[in-house]
Amino acid sequence: MTSVFDATVCELGEGPLWHPLRQQLYWFDITGQTLYTQTDDETKAVRFDTFVSAAGWIDANRLMIASARELFIHDLNSGTNTHVCPLEADNAVTRSNDGRADPQGGFWIGTMGCNAEQDAGAIYRWYRGELRQLFAPITISNAISFAPDGRTAFFTDSAVAKVMRVTLDADGWPNSAPEIFLDLAPAGREPDGAVIDRDGLMWLAEWGSSRVAAYAPDGSLVRTVPVDAPHSTCPAFGGPDLTTLFCTSARQGLTASGRAAAPLSGMTFTAANVARGQQEHQVIL
């Protein structure tokens, strides 16, 4: 069972990132338009004027952040933001959702409809100044993650409950058609965010299932870690030796009675000595 790492209640907690140089966790409340971090048991918040959902680290002081309309660089010390490129800037229907840096130094980001409109979103990759659409249409982009050898990427459209995998070339671009890695539809489970550990296991938050599930490279279920909130949203590994599992959660989608029955929903959770994760990859400008 996990315990509460941070009791801040997020309506839609997402995008946890363990910064390897700063040795601290960052995460988002997408609909709350806020980036959070915790240092010395103090929670700090940076609020934006639009939805923000995912980040990758550039160096000790800068993050690449995806918002509803752009990718931008956020300076953690000064608080200044620098535009990188538009992200569906002319589409008022969509916002960014799940994202993660890849082993080659690129940054993958998915979009979706603000109200989960069918087929409204897509998955993109930013790499050395170029933003390219990779996969569309997507209804709810999630589970963007990468095998330790850098040769395979994973993603899902949560609406169809299938986690896909695709092989990558030396520069990190997909070079094959996606194939099904996991089909969770028969079990009635909805894949959300995911991260791959050093041994190649996928740690997948399953929306509505109160858990993070670990799947082997052959797709078999290895173990589960319970989360004290129905809607677990995205895991990350962190801590000095990368053996601590963090997981964000959401209150979104719960009825009033559901929120009362699960009062920790929206908080960020942690579990020690779960597995050894990969260091989060650096975004190369």
Cis peptide before 191 (omega within 30 of 0): no
Of the residues 192, 199, 218, 228, only one is catalytic, namely: 192
Specify the residue for token string 């990350």.
236
How many Å apart are CA 60 and CA 163, to the nearest integer? Answer: 32
How many Å apart are CA 111 and CA 119, to the nearest integer? Answer: 10
41 a catalytic residue: no
Specify the residue for token string 């791959």.
196
Whether the CB-CB separation of 141 and 110 falls below 8 Å is answered with yes
Q: In Å, how far are 41, 44, 97, 119 from 28, measured between CA atoms?
A: 17, 12, 10, 24
Which residues make Cβ contacts (< 8 Å) with residue 245, sequence separation at least 6? 2, 203, 212, 225, 235, 236, 237, 270, 271, 274, 275, 277
How many Å apart are CA 202 and CA 196, to the nearest integer? Answer: 4
Residues facing residue 214 across a β-bridge: 203, 223
- Residues with active-site annotation: 192
